[in-house]
Amino acid sequence: MKTVVQAPGKINLTLEVLGRRPDGYHDLRSVLLPVSLFETVEVEERADDAVTCRTVGEGVDVAALADLPLERHLAVKAVRAMQRLCGTTRGCDIRIVKRVPIGAGMAGGSADAAGAMAALHRLWGFAGRWEALVEAGASVGSDVPALLHGGAVLMEGRGERVSAVLRPDDKPPPPFWLVAVFPGYSVSTRQVFESWTPRLTAGADVCDNAISSVRNGDVRAACLTAYNGLQDTVNRLHPETERFCLALREGGALSALLSGSGSAVFGLAESRAHALRIQRSLPKNVWSKVVSTLPDGVMAAHGFLMPRVMVQIHVGQPS
């Protein structure tokens, strides 16, 4: 049997770095929005215990993965985590079509892991606790719990605590349209965090305002509160990044911001047509995509619908 999952990448509408922790990680608070840029993750069962993984790029360069040892591929780490959870040594063949640029702060690797977990959840009939699944995801990659939820989330801690932004009675709000731009170089998340210096954070209402803007589908309110606490550090390490934000603003974006630890930046737009106009204003040789944010439950098509009540509680131990 095989199953195919379309696993989305993400952008961060806000990203606050609250401080460095004794374990070397940083405490984060982020309103994270999955976007309509999907990795196709196909997982096929095997009779033996071998695990294989083949990755091809569609519009993105995957050369950086060529020398990656199999066990360091995030999709394979996800398989190992699922094997532990399900108490099995069964293997599988994974085929990934990557559309999210590598090292862009758009969580392509975490999307591959979340996709593999969702596929194996179905193939192996995982019957354990959702909390265990989310904790296993967190051990694979910081953005995996958020992407397993498959909708807008508030992400805290290292990423292991996720809460749904939409409340059970909220009507699905209109999506945000945006232009994502990959400047052509990867940024090392580790280097960015090592270079980050504590500074005043964004202010207590940044996160609350961002959550309200998503609930209301109010892109202008979202622009007023969009914030990335890593932007200065990334601009210092890669001054060109700021030029791409400027190009988006000059092209008419309501606001332009770094996603995660970069290198991708995104410009928020009024509508799809507006986003396409912004995209047309960019240099033709630069990777860019017009995408929208996604409603809750995007993983539901794969039989993977995390109970709403689950994502409203915090998972894992507060740090």
Contact residues: ligand ATP, CB under 6 A: 64, 68, 72-75, 102-110, 112, 141-143, 189, 260-261
Smallest gap from residue 312 Cβ to ligand ATP (A): 24
Nearest to 31 by CA among 234, 196, 213: 213
Catalytic one of 10, 77, 98, 289: 10
Smallest gap from residue 94 Cβ to ligand ATP (A): 9
Under a CB-based contact definition with an 8 Å cutoff, are residues 286 and 244 in contact? Answer: yes
Q: Token match 């974006």: residue? A: 253
Q: What is the C-alpha separation between 97 and 266, in angstroms, rounded?
A: 22
Residue nearest to ligand ATP (CB): 109
Smallest gap from residue 307 Cβ to ligand ATP (A): 26
Residue-by-residue DSSP string for 177-220: EEEEEE-SS---HHHHHHH------S-THHHHHHHHHHHHT-HH
Kind and range of the H or E element at 162? strand 161-164
Token pair belonging to 91: 């293997």
- Give 107 or 181: the residue with its C-beta nearer to ligand ATP: 107
The residues that bridge with 39 in the sheet, in sequence order, are 7
Residue 10 falls in the annotated catalytic set: yes
Smallest gap from residue 212 Cβ to ligand ATP (A): 26
Return the amino acid letter for 175: P
Smallest gap from residue 264 Cβ to ligand ATP (A): 8
> Which residues are CB-neighbours of 216 under 8 A, at least 6 positions away?
173
- Give 116 or 154: the residue with its C-beta nearer to ligand ATP: 116
- Give 236 or 308: the residue with its C-beta nearer to ligand ATP: 236
- Give 72 or 280: the residue with its C-beta nearer to ligand ATP: 72
Give the distance, in angstroms, between the CA of residue 158 and the centroid of all CA atoms in the same chain: 13
Q: Token match 């079509």: residue? A: 97
Residue 67 falls in the annotated catalytic set: no
Catalytic one of 77, 98, 112, 143: 143
- Give 73 or 121: the residue with its C-beta nearer to ligand ATP: 73
Distances (CA, A) of 212 to 144, 173, 220: 24, 11, 12
By annotation, the residues acting in catalysis are 10, 143
